[in-house]
Amino acid sequence: MNITDQLEPQEAAELLTVLERGYQRSYEAARRAWRTPEHDSWLQLARELNELSLDEHWATFERGVRQPGEPAGQFCARAYRELDQEAEAG
């Protein structure tokens, strides 16, 4: 079971955006911490967040809520547009 399985598309999109941002920032922190004691822990965190992000990106694709190759930011924007359209129609 993936963590996005029970989430609405908008919630999944937000989570994917946060995960993507988190692993990018962790990699940047690891790069800045090169040759320091903190480097390995930042790099490990970045790897774990990247793996989780990739798993969840695939899970949302397999569920049919995200389009192939759609970046998290675009997925998030589309999910909210669709939510707004549903609210206007309903």
Q: Is residue 12 within 8 Å of residue 60, measured between CB atoms?
A: yes
Residue tagged 């040759």 (tokens):
35
**Of 9 and 36, the one with more pLDDT:** 36
Q: What is the residue-averaged pLDDT of the chain? A: 87
Average pLDDT over residues 61-76: 83
Average pLDDT over residues 9-31: 90
Tell me the three-class secondary structure of the chain, residue by residue.
Answer: CCCCCCCCHHHHHHHHHHHHHHHHHHHHHHHHCCCCCCHHHHHHHHHHHHHHHHHHHHHHHHHCCCCCCCCHHHHHHHHHHHHHHHHHHC
The structure's pTM equals: 0.76
Indicate if the pLDDT at residue 32 is higher than 90.
yes
CA distance 90 to 53: 33
Percent over 90 (pLDDT), the chain: 34
Judged against a pLDDT cut of 70, whether residue 1 lies above it is answered with no
